[in-house]
Structure 1
Amino acid sequence: MAPLISINSPNPLNIRDFVVNQGQGVKGLAELGLKSLPTQYIQPPEERNIAEAHHGSIPVIDVSSWDDPEVAKAVCDAARKWGFFQIVNHGVPIHVLEDVKDATHQFFGLPAEEKLKYSKERSATTNIRYGTSFAPEAEKALEWKDYLSLFFVSSDEAASLWPPICRNQALTYIESSEIVVKKLLEILMNGLNIPEIDESKESMLMGSKRINFNYYPKCPNPERTVGIGPHSDVSTLTVLLQDDIGGLYVRNTDTMNWIHVPPISGSLVINVGDALQIMSNGKYKSIEHRVSANGSANRISVPIFVNPRPSDIIGPLPEVLKSGEKPPYKHVLYSDYVRHFFKKAHDGKATIEFAKA
C-alpha cells in the first residue's frame, strides 16, 4: 500500500494511486479528514462557477393518467423546450426507490478491496465497472464522484456477476421502471407522428440499459470542484432517482443560466439523451446538465440509461423526414458514438458533433 497521503501537501501520484489503483475512491479521500481540496480536483473557474440557482425549474408532470392528452402534451412540450422534466405518480413503488437508494449506500460502504473487485482492471466483465470521476486518464481536473456502472445483458449474468449487496435492488428498479419508459417513448413517438412502436423501433429506442450508482462524498471545498461536469447523456432517455439533498443543475438554453432541479420525494427525473435528439432530428433536445459538489452531506443518485443496442445504426427516423426537411445528423454506429463520449472528459454538448452530417 502506498504511504498515507499528506493532507497539507498531497502528492499527485499518491492521490491517484490511493483513489484509483487502491479503489479507495473519492469516498476514501473524503474520509481522511481533508481540510482542503487536493489540487487534482480543483476545477478551472469557468468549470466550477455555478451561479445561484435562477428562478424557475423544469416541468413537474403528474402522469397518474397516461392516456390523458394533457399529459402527452406536457411530456412532448418538456422534451422539446427543456429536455428535462420530473414525473410524479408514475407507478414505481416508493419502497423500490428507497431500497435502491439504500443499496447504493451499502455498496459504497463496502471495504475498498471489495469494491476494487469490480474495477476496470479486475472486473469479470466489461459490463460491470466500479470507478471514480468520469475519465481520470483524460481529465485535467478530476470530478468529486465515485460510481458503480452495471450494463444489463441478462438476468442470469446479473445474478452471477453483479455485486450481491445491490443486484436485486438494481434489477427490481430496472424492471419496475420498464412500463414508465415504454409509456414515455410511446408519447414521444406519437409527438413525432409515429403512432406505433414496432419491434425493431422499440429495440432501437430501448434495446439496452445501464444503471449507475453514483456517490458524491461530502467535500471540503465544494465551490472549487464539481460532482459531474457539464455534459449531455448519450442515451435515448435517462430515468434518474435523486436523494433529498439536491445538486443537479440543468442548462436553460434560452438564457444559458443553470437551473437547479429540486428533489421531490417519490419523483423521477427524466431527460432526453443525444440518441433521441438525433433520432427525432432535433425535435427533442438533449440538454447540458451538471452536478455540484456538496459541503454538508454525502449525496447519491441512481440513473437508468435507456439506450439503443451497441450494434444499432442511429440517425434521424424516416418518419420525421417525410416533410422533406434536411437532416443535420448522419447515421452512426451507436457503439462508436458511445466510445467517443467515454474517451474524453466531459465537455458540454460537444459529443453531438460526432453525429453531425
Structure 2
Amino acid sequence: MAPSFDEGNALFDFVVQKGNGVKGLVDNGIKMVPERYIQPPKERIDNKIINSNDQLLAIDLSKLHGPEHDQVVGAISLAAETLGFFQVVNHGVTLELLESLKASAHNFFAQPPMKKAVYLKGVSPSPLVKYGTSFVPEKEMALEWKDYVSMMYTNDDEAHAQWPVECKDLALEYLKSSTKMVRKLLEILFGNLGVTLDEAKLESLTGLKMVNMNFYPSCPNPELTVGVGRHSDMGTLTVLLQDGIGGLYVKLEEGVEEGKDEWIEIPPISGALVINVGDTMQILSNGRYKSAEHRVRTTSSASRVSVPYFATPKPSEKIGPLPQLVESDGVAHYKEVLFGDYMQNFFGKAHEGKKSLDFAQNDSA
C-alpha cells in the first residue's frame, strides 16, 4: 500500500529522513506533484525558451595545439567574462567513459532505497560520501525534484575503499581525466587576466574535489516544480556531464533589460562537457569572470541524470581578489574570506540566485 503524503511531516519523513528520495515518490505511483514541491510562480521554468546564443556552440580544445590556439583562448575567456558557461569537445575524457558514467549513475539510483539510505547524512559509514535529496531540505520552503550522491576525493585508496561500489571506479576516472582539463582551463583564464599562478596555488584553488551524481525522476507536473533552483556554484570551476535530455538553464546578465530575467537553455551536445565559472573564480578575478546563475527543470518524459565534478579550494584556503587585479582595477570588489567559512554559508541556506556572493562582498568598495 502506498504511503499517504497528505501531511507534510509524513512526506518529509519518507523522502528525506528515511532516504526514499523523490524516486521513492515516483515509484509509489504519485499522480500529482506534492504541495511541498510546488514552487512559487516566479521560480517555475518556462521550457519554451529558444537557444539563440552563439556561445552555446562547443569549443574544440584540440585546436589549442594548432594555428587556431588564440581563437580558442579568446572564446573561452569571452564566455567566462559574459555568460559564465561554455561547452567543450575533444577535452581528453573518453566518450566511452562518459557513456559508462551515465549508466552507472542510473544503476546507483535504481537500487532499493535501503541500499542508498546507508549513505544518508548522519549515518553514512564514510565522511566522504553523502546521499540525499533536494539541496538543504530543512531550510527550503519548496523542495527540489532531485536525488543525489556526493563523493569527496581525498586520495585514490580512500575513494576505492569508501565510494559506492556501483560507481566508484568510473567516477574516479572521470575526476582524474577532468582534473587535467580544469588545470589547462585555469591556466588559460588566469593568463587572460595577465596573471601566472604557481603549481602550489593552482592546487590549493582546486584542492577540494567532488563528484556528484544527480538523478531527476520523471515528474507528473514539471511546470510546477524545479530539479534545481536558481544558484551559482561556490567553487572555482565546475565540469558537468549532461545526459542528452536537456533541462539546464543559465541566466543572461548582459544585454537584458533591468528588472527582467532572461534564461537560455544549454543544449545537450553529444560528447561535450559543460564548464561553468563558480563564485570563487568571480572573487579571484575581482568580478571580471562571472559565476553563472543557473537552474534545472524537470520533465515528464523520462528520468535523467547529470554528473558534475566540482573543483573547489581547500577549506583552509583564503580567497580574495588577486593582488595584481586589485592594483590594476584600483578597487577590491570582494574581501578576503576563508573558503571553509564561505562553504559553510553556502550550504547553510536554500538556493537563492547569487546571494552566496554577498558573503564576500566588499561593502566599502
TM-score, shorter chain, exceeding 0.5: yes
Kindly provide the amino acid, as one letter, of the partner of residue 334 in structure 2. Y
Q: Output one character per residue of 1:160-218: Cα deviation in whole Å (capped at 9) or x when no partner.
A: 11111110010010111122111101100101101x33123212321121110000000
Does residue 150 of the first structure (1) align with residue 127 of the second (2)?
Answer: no
Instruction: Identify the range of structure 1 (235-244 vs 201-210) with the bigger mean alpha-carbon deviation.
Output: 201-210
Task: Indicate the residue corresponding to 1:63 in structure 2.
Answer: 61
1:313 and 2:318 matched = yes
Residue aligning to 1:247: 247
Distance 1:161 1:107 in 2: 15
Residue 20 (structure 1) shift: 1.3
Distance in 1, Cα, partners of 2:253 & 2:181: 26
Match of 1:331 among 327, 330, 336: 336
Taking structure 1 as reference, are residues 318 and 33 closer, same or farther at Cα in structure 2, changes over 3 Å only?
same
Q: What are the equivalent positions in structure 2 for 1:32-71 lying under 5 Å apart? A: 32-50=28-46, 52-57=48-53, 58-59=55-56, 60-67=58-65, 68-71=69-72
1:13 aligns with 2:18: no
**5+ unaligned residues in a row in structure 2: which ranges?**
none
CA contact (8 A) 1:85 1:270 kept: yes
Q: CA RMSD in A?
A: 1.3
1:277 aligns with 2:275: no
* Equivalent-residue separation in structure 2 for 1:55 and 1:218 (angstroms): 23
Contact residue 131 and residue 146 of structure 1 kept, 8 A? yes
In the other structure, the counterpart of 1:230 is: 230
Name the stretch that deviates more: 151-160 or 131-140. 151-160
**Is the Cα contact below 8 Å between 1:54 and 1:257 reproduced in 2?**
no
Following superposition, the deviation at residue 126 of structure 1 comes to 2.8
| 1:116-145 deviation digits (Å, cap 9, x = unpaired) | 111102112332110000000000010000
Preserved CA contact (<8 Å) 1:50 1:258? no
Q: What do the CA deviations read for 1:251-302 (whole angstroms, capped 9, x no partner)?
A: 0112231101110000000000000000010111002100001111001000
Query: Match of 1:93?
Result: 94
Q: Which residue of 1 aligns with 2:126?
A: 125
Residue identity matched to 1:30: V
Structure 1 residues without counterparts, runs of 5 or longer: none
Distance 2:166 2:218 in 1: 23
Displaced runs of 4 or more, over 4 A:
none
Whole-angstrom distance in 1 between the partners of 2:95 and 2:51: 29
Taking the aligned partners of 2:71 and 2:274, their CA distance within structure 1 comes to: 19
Shift of 1:49: 3.8
Q: How does 1:336-347 map to 2 (within 5 A)?
A: 336-347=341-352
Equivalent position amino acid for 1:226 in 2: V
Does the 8 A contact of 1:51 with 1:258 survive in 2?
no
**SS of the counterpart of 1:224?**
coil
Verify: 1:28 aligned to 2:24, yes or no: yes
1:157 offset after TM fit, Å?
A: 1.1
The answer to whether the aligner puts 1:214 opposite 2:211 as a matched pair is no
Instruction: Return the offset for 1:111.
Output: 1.1
CA contact (8 A) 1:61 1:87 kept: yes
Question: What is the number of equivalent residue pairs in this alignment?
Answer: 352
Counterpart residue number, 1:356: 361
Q: Which moved more, 1:338-347 or 1:322-331?
A: 322-331
Matching residue of 1:303: 308
TM superposition score normalised by structure 2:
0.94
2 CA distance for matches of 1:216 and 1:134? 13
Q: Which amino acid aligns with 2:11?
A: I
Q: Which moved more, 1:51-60 or 1:306-315?
A: 51-60
For 1:13 and 1:321, how far apart are their aligned partners in 2?
50
Question: What does residue range 128-207 of structure 1 map to in structure 2 within 5 Å?
Answer: 128-194=129-195, 196-207=196-207
Q: How does 1:72-111 map to 2 (within 5 A)?
A: 72-111=73-112
Give the alignment's TM-score, normalised by structure 1. 0.96
Corresponding residue SS for 1:61: strand
1:291-334 superposed Cα distances (whole Å, 9 cap, x missing partner): 00111100100000001111100000112123252011000010
Shift of 1:94: 0.4
Percentage of pairs with the same residue: 50
Query: In the TM superposition, what is the alpha-carbon distance from 1:5 to its structure 2 partner?
Result: 2.1
- Contact kept, 8 Å, 2:205 with 2:317, in 1: the verdict is no
| Local SS of the residue matching 1:143 | coil
The offset of 1:228, in angstroms, is 0.2
Whether the aligned pair in 2 keeps the contact of 1:66 and 1:183 (CA below 8 Å) is: no
Q: Kindly tell me: are residues 102 and 51 of structure 1, through their superposed partners in 2, closer, same or farther at Cα, counting changes over 3 Å?
A: closer
For the residue of structure 2 that corresponds to 1:215, the secondary structure is: strand
After superposing the two structures, state which structure 1 stretch, 52-61 or 275-284, moved more. Answer: 52-61
Give the counterpart of 1:293 among 298, 312, 315.
Answer: 298
Return the alpha-carbon distance in structure 2 between the equivalents of residues 181 and 324 of structure 1: 26
Using the TM superposition, give the Cα deviation of residue 89 of structure 1 relative to its aligned residue in structure 2, in angstroms. 1.6
Q: Which residue identity is paired with 2:222? A: P
Stretch of structure 1 that moved more, 203-212 or 233-242:
203-212
Which residue, 246, 263, 266 being the options, matches 2:268?
263
Q: What secondary structure, in the 3-state scheme, does the structure 2 residue paired with 1:66 have?
A: helix
